[in-house]
Structure 1
Amino acid sequence: MTDSDLLRYSRHIFLPEMDMEGQQKLLDSRVLIIGLGGLGSPVLQYLAASGVGHLYLVDHDVVELSNVQRQICHGTKDVGKTKVESAIEEVMRINSTIFVEGFEQKADAELLQKLLPTIDLVVDCSDNFDIRYLINDACLEHKTPWVSGAAVALQGQIICFDPRLADQPCYRCLYPLAGDEQVNCSTSGILAPVVGIIGTLQALEVIKIITGIGKPILGRLQTFDALEGQWRSWGLNKDAGCLSCGK
């Protein structure tokens, strides 16, 4: 680390759980963020500020005025830009010392196969089951940990998966089949801070997994009810009959 790095990340380094070693792990890490909307915004902002050294961003969409109510890495002036372009500008505004690369496309099996061999962790900030199943299968194949978040209306949820651990469940253990109707913010609405809460917690879990501090949310689905201000934790076991990770 340079003298500038030591100053920039000093509040991390002061933490005995992190210290220099933990910060260096962040600087050396490669994180893939899929989806640059309401969840992806706080994820990329906090990971960039925290010094994750290499960020790879994937999104096929363009910034619309209805996005800026909650997708806080994009502003009114970014309407019409691709979300990747706007997000890269935001990363550089926050921390120009890190590496960032964008992919203006949907996350598909081909892209995941191309990127995952060099990726340390994937953050799922998408909004549909199909992409999550692709992420799940690719991460199982490459033994890559990933953090999944979702939020709609007044509800949110988060869970982490680590295929490096043989006893851990996968996403298909949680959701064996996708629902016929996929609920999303476009049809159901979303209270803006809800995605901020879930996205910020996703960023925290990324840092914990990369640095090895604390206890990540593995094998537990945590759900958040914004109206009641309540969290619930649901234990999840590995499904021996799972089509993705079962024997």
Structure 2
Amino acid sequence: MSLSPDRLSRFARHIVLPEVGGAGQVALADAHVVLVGCGGIGSPALQYLAAAGIGHLTLVDDDVVDVSNLQRQTIFAPSDIGRPKAEVAAEWVRRFDLGLEVEAVVTRVGGANAARILSGASLVVDGCDNFATRLTVSDACVELGIPLTSAAIGRFQGQVANFAGHLPDQPCYRCFVGDAFDAEDCDTCAADGVLGAMVGMVGTFAVMHAIRVLLDGHAAFGDPQFGTLHLIDGMAPSMRPLRIAKDPACKGCGQKA
């Protein structure tokens, strides 16, 4: 694949970076990213995935826009209230860049549909709001051999990590959290609160991490840092890396050990 003159102009600031270059921008244009969750994390993540020129985006969310979302979910406006987030998000991408392929999937990822939704992706970015879906996505990524960028937030704390549990020496997301969170219940922004700017910080850092994976083997920036969890403290502020070990008994990736 080569970039047309207008695409070269649009991504000129990427291409002049030695760590990205023309080959790296072509790799981004060739990539297919599935974004699970178009809400707090997914909204700012989507903006910078699209701005990076990711050629094919699949947006997955079963929720609708609520007035309380507008404090942090920056792709939505009051006129979008009541509409499916995935569809509104796809419309935002089409307005932003006609050169990108985008599709909306208005459903929740579960055991019955995960393989179908995620199949063919270069990378999955998970910013959903419950552990059950996160673990389902992680297990499917391991089975399909797809790397996963996972991002989560609670109040002023964020977590971002790249996982490649399909590789024999790498952990998956389930190695990190275990099996206790397969249930639907979890803490929510409604109960605990969240600062809008903190969501933006975590969402955009997740895109930085996603780009690391997509450029691996194509550009100098591509160090995926698989299995390293970055703990982000918005109050301090500070960031601390934590290495996650592969669990040989993990029911998600243990057979890959």
Q: TM-score range by the shorter chain?
A: over 0.9
RMSD over aligned Cα, in angstroms?
Answer: 1.4
User: For 1:185, which of 184, 189, 194 is the aligned residue?
Assistant: 189
Q: Distance in 2 between matches of 1:176 and 1:87?
A: 32
How many angstroms does 1:164 deviate by? Answer: 4.6
2:199 equivalent to 1:195: yes
Unaligned runs of 5+ in 1: none
Tell me the amino acid that sits aligned with residue 167 of structure 1. D
CA offset digits 1:73-120 (Å, max 9, x no partner): 112221121101211121122212100000111112333211333111
User: For 1:204, which of 190, 202, 208 is the aligned residue?
Assistant: 208
Q: Distance in 2 between matches of 1:106 and 1:60?
A: 5
Q: Which residue of 2 aligns with 1:174?
A: 176
Runs of 4+ with deviation above 6 angstroms: none
Tell me the amino acid that sits aligned with residue 224 of structure 2. P
Native 8 Å contact 1:129 1:178 kept in 2: no
2:158 equivalent to 1:150: no
User: For 1:232, which of 216, 226, 240 is the aligned residue?
Assistant: 240
User: For 1:37, which of 36, 39, 54 is the aligned residue?
Assistant: 39
2:215 equivalent to 1:215: no
Q: Which residue of 2 aligns with 1:16?
A: 18
Query: Given the two structures, how large is their TM-score scaled by the length of structure 1?
Result: 0.96
Q: Distance in 1 between matches of 2:225 and 2:199?
A: 18
CA offset digits 1:29-88 (Å, max 9, x no partner): 110000000100111111111110000000011101000100111122211211012111
CA offset digits 1:197-219 (Å, max 9, x no partner): 11001111111111112422321
CA offset digits 1:182-237 (Å, max 9, x no partner): 11212111011111111001111111111112422321111111111011211111
Tell me the amino acid that sits aligned with residue 197 of structure 2. P
Native 8 Å contact 2:214 2:222 kept in 1: no
Q: Which residue of 2 aligns with 1:48?
A: 50
Q: Which residue of 1 aligns with 2:122?
A: 120
How many angstroms does 1:178 deviate by? Answer: 3.2
Query: Given the two structures, how large is their TM-score scaled by the length of structure 2?
Result: 0.92
Q: Distance in 1 between matches of 2:45 and 2:180?
A: 25
